Amino acid sequence: MTALSTYFHTDQPVIKTLKVNTLKSLRQHGGQDRALLSFDINADLRPAFHWNLKQLFVYVVAEYESSTNPLNQVIIWDKIVTSRETAWLKATDEFVKYALIDQGQELRNKTISLRLMWDHMPVTGRLYNGDERKNSFTLPAKYKN
């Protein structure tokens, strides 16, 4: 019964900044386009915490359209946040954990949107998630090493 109280918890994280800082490289690797980049993040996830939340699984997703797929979503970074005290994510020039890789050669000249997503992992009860799109950028038309 007490787990039901979390259904009414509506406090949302506050995402102040999520943007690309530097494009390190955009090149072809093994027949696929691959981009390495860094980003800036300032996200206050503390409002998401309540008595029944064990942890948040937080991740940055790069989204873009291509002629092969109308929607491409690639996780480029993730983090597990286990307490309210560590739930304010602030970083400048944070390097991606996972490269932005296209299935083919369609990253050049694409507009990429960054989205911060989080999964609520409760002690008991339902699982749910949230997200917020913050910023877009366009990759160059030519490869960059």
Question: Taking 70 as the threshold, does the pLDDT of residue 9 lie above it?
Answer: no
Residue type, 114: L
Give how far the C-alpha of residue 27 lies from the chain's centroid of Cα atoms, to the nearest Å: 22
Residues 19-45: tens digit of each pLDDT: 999 999 999 999 999 999 999 999 999
What's the whole-model pTM score? 0.90
Torsions phi, psi for 33 (to 5 deg): -75, 140
Mean pLDDT of 58-72: 96
C-alpha distances in Å from residue 22, one per residue of 25, 27, 36, 96, 104: 9, 15, 9, 11, 23
pLDDT at 5: 58
Q: Is the pLDDT of residue 63 over 70?
A: yes
Backbone angles phi, psi at 5, to 5 degrees: -60, -25
